[in-house]
């Protein structure tokens, strides 16, 4: 999408006008014709509150220019950044349905800087489409957006640069998740991570299976045993504050296809398992944005990438493996593979990279989907300070997060094993059991676990989402890391 700052309309022709209105039904553009149309639509209950409604026309005009489409966007009182994203994303979907090419919106008022970036995010994210494997895709001219505003040029440029950076990161994550498993293999994922590193001056390392074996990554390698494709242990190191000993680890689950192993998934649950590397996609993309913004903080991205398949060498239920930190794990269920890979990744980040705090993100449990659906990411934490930053980042990014309990004192025995130190399949409270399993490997470091099993994929094309990968947690991770800068700076 092309974006152009406008101070007048002399050099911008448009076919679609975006008009916002507030909770008191006051329009952002007070024109007789627009106001009359709004009142008529209000009488039919098509607008009002926070409804978004589009209208085709033939004789609309604004400041002497004729246009054809009019879209009203309701903004509720005390609207959050997320609400702005969703409303403008909905407007973009309507505009595309109208086959609009040139959109005009106004950004005028004292609080423009609060909402403009969120509105632009909504428009750009709503414009995403994945058609890499459509042989008959049609030529589609890029949308143009004119923003009529009194904001000075430098401030507007700063907002636009930030929005483009972060939405491109989300686009990258969505592309990674949407790619089929025969294309996005562990080695291909490593290549994509390397491309991001090369572009942004991030140190890249990919450990092969032999190197992982030497490090004692028995948990991670137990997941990879059944696949013909080679596992890749991806490490991305960004040093934005060389004099600081603190380092944040972002750890993303990178299961490029999850058949469930010998605890094989049923047919309905097998579809979409190419997206079981949504956590890895978020980490790769967020790392690129962090480096591009030159944030003053040290961050390492760690991604255990492999496939969870079945063969004569695959792990079996009841196997016992030793993790990198020395704990013996009973494989109670081969479909609880993500936490196995993450356990060794957490240990590597702490012991080999010197991580002082850890955030992991994973499409981990169906139980979290049952609890929170597809619009809230579940968060578990052992640190109130780090949890608070995640919650604050969720507001800034527009990504919903709901904190869930670790259940200390209530679920201490949920992962008990009769034959090993711990089992990978708890006996109840599935999302909590998975989080408690991971907590056994964080070595008392401040830690947050983000379960994006529900939010990583959208079942329909609506608002800021397209059917398929959402890029969940990409913006969330970026904003969380930005909040951890010392001293914190606003960008």
The CATH code of the domain that includes 124 is: 3.40.220.10
Same-domain status, 291 and 348: yes
Tell me what pLDDT residue 136 has: 79
Residue 20 CB contacts under 8 Å (≥ 6 apart), including other chains: 27, 28, 72, 73, 74, 75, 105, 106
Domain for residue 409, yes or no? Answer: yes
Q: Give the residue numbers annotated as catalytic, written as ranges.
A: 265, 339
Reduce the secondary structure of 348-398 to three states and give it as a string: HHHHCCCCCEEEEEECCCHHHHHHHCCCCEEEEECCHHHHHHHHHHHHHHC
- The pLDDT of residue 9: 81
Residues 419 and 348 reside in one and the same domain: yes
List phi, psi (to 5°) of 232: -135, 130
Q: Are residues 76 and 218 in the same domain?
A: no
Domain closes at, from 117, 149, 181: 149
Q: 337 with 329: CB under 8 angstroms?
A: no
> Looking at residue 491, what is its pLDDT?
47
pLDDT at 433: 97
What is the domain count for the chain?
2
Return phi, psi of residue 11, to 5°: -115, 25
Query: Does residue 491 lie in a domain region?
Result: no
- Return the pLDDT at 58: 66
Residue 159 forms part of a structural domain: no
Residue 161 lies in a domain: no
Peptide bond between residue 350 and the one before it cis (omega within 30 degrees of 0):
no
Are 310 and 444 contained in the same domain? Answer: yes
CA angle 418, 423, 427 (to 5 degrees): 90
Instruction: Please report whether residue 158 resides in a domain.
Output: no
- Same domain for 105 and 191, yes or no, is no
For residues 309 and 421, membership in a common domain is answered with: yes
Does any domain span residue 24?
A: yes
Q: Is 258 in the same domain as 171? A: yes
Same domain for 414 and 298, yes or no, is: yes
- Are residues 470 and 338 both part of a single domain? yes
CATH at 323 = 3.40.630.10
| Other C-beta atoms lying within 10 Å of the C-beta of residue 405 | 13
> Of 149, 183, 208, which residue constitutes the final position of a domain?
149
pLDDT at residue 490 in the model = 53
Q: How far, in Å, CA of 35 to CA of 243, rounded? A: 58
DSSP string, 103-118: EEEEE-STTHHHHHHH
Global pTM reads 0.95
Instruction: Using alpha carbons, list the distances in angstroms from residue 302 to 41, 171, 235, 298, 305.
Output: 52, 20, 5, 13, 10
- Which of 455, 197, 439, 444 shows the shortest CA–CA distance to 342? 439
Provide the domain limits for residue 78.
2-134+144-149
* Stretches in the chain below the pLDDT threshold 70: 30-32, 58-59, 65, 138-140, 488-491
Is residue 249 within 8 A of residue 361, CB to CB? The reply is: no
Nearest to 344 by CA among 377, 305, 309: 305
Q: How far is CA 45 from the centre of its chain?
A: 35
Is 71 within the bounds of a domain?
Answer: yes
* Chosen domain end from 121, 149, 177: 149
My answer on whether 222 and 127 are in the same domain is no
Q: Is the sign of the CA dihedral 267, 272, 274, 275 positive or negative?
A: negative
CA distance 310 to 260: 8
* 3-class secondary-structure state, position 246: coil
| In a shared domain, residues 431 and 375 | yes
What gap in Å lies between CA 19 and CA 74, rounded to an integer? 9
Q: Are residues 117 and 222 in the same domain?
A: no
The answer to whether the CB of 253 falls within 8 A of the CB of 335 is no
Are the CB atoms for 290 and 249 separated by under 8 Å? no
pLDDT digits (tens, 9 = 90+) for 411-431: 999 999 999 999 999 999 999
Contact 121, 85 (CB under 8 A): yes
Asked, for residue 97, whether it belongs to a domain, the answer is yes
Closest CA to 437 of 321, 342, 305, 320: 342
CB atoms within 10 A of CB 182: 11
């Amino acid at each position: 999408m092309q974006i152009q700052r406008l101070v007048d309309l002399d050099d911008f022709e448009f076919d679609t006008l975006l008009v916002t209105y507030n909770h008191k039904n006051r329009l952002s553009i007070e024109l007789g014709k627009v106001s009359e149309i709004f009142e008529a639509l209000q009488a039919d209950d098509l607008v009002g509150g926070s409804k978004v409604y589009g209208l085709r026309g033939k004789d609309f005009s604004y400041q002497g220019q004729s246009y054809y489409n009019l879209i009203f966007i309701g903004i509720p009182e005390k609207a959050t950044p997320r609400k702005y994203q969703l409303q403008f994303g909905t407007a973009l979907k309507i505009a595309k349905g109208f086959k609009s090419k040139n959109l005009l919106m106004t950004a005028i008022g004292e609080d423009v800087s609060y909402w403009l970036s969120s509105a632009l995010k909504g428009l750009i994210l709503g414009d995403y489409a994945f058609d890499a494997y459509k042989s008959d895709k049609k030529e589609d001219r890029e949308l143009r957006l004119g923003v009529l505003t009194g904001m000075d040029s430098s401030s507007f440029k700063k907002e636009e640069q930030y929005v483009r950076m972060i939405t491109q990161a989300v686009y990258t994550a969505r592309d990674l998740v949407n790619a089929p498993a025969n294309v996005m293999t562990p080695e291909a994922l490593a290549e994509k991570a390397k491309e991001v590193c090369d572009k942004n001056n991030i140190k890249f390392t990919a450990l092969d299976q032999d190197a992982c074996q030497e490090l004692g990554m028995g948990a991670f390698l137990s997941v990879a045993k059944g696949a013909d494709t080679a596992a890749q242990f991806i490490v991305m190191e960004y040093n934005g504050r060389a004099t600081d000993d603190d380092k944040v680890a972002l750890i993303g689950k990178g299961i490029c296809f999850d058949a469930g192993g010998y605890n094989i998934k049923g047919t309905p649950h097998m579809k979409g398992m190419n997206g079981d590397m949504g956590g890895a996609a978020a980490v790769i993309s967020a790392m690129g944005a962090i480096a591009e913004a030159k944030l003053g903080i040290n961050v390492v991205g760690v991604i255990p990438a492999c496939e969870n398949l079945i063969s004569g060498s695959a792990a079996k239920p009841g196997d016992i493996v030793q993790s990198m930190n020395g704990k013996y794990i009973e494989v109670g269920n081969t479909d609880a593979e993500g936490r196995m890979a993450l356990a060794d990744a957490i240990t590597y980040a702490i012991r080999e990279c010197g991580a002082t705090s850890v955030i992991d993100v994973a499409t981990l449990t169906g139980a979290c989907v049952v609890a929170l659906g597809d619009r809230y990411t579940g968060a578990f934490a052992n640190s109130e300070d780090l949890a608070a930053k995640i919650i604050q980042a969720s507001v800034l990014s527009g990504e919903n997060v709901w904190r869930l309990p670790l259940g200390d004192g209530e679920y201490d025995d949920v992962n008990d094993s009769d034959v090993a130190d711990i089992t990978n399949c708890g006996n109840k409270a599935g999302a909590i059991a998975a989080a408690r399993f991971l907590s056994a490997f964080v070595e008392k470091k401040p830690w947050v676990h983000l379960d994006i099993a529900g939010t990583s994929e959208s079942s329909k094309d609506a608002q800021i989402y397209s059917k398929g990968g959402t890029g969940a947690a990409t913006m969330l991770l970026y904003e969380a890391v930005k909040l951890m800068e010392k001293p914190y700076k606003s960008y």
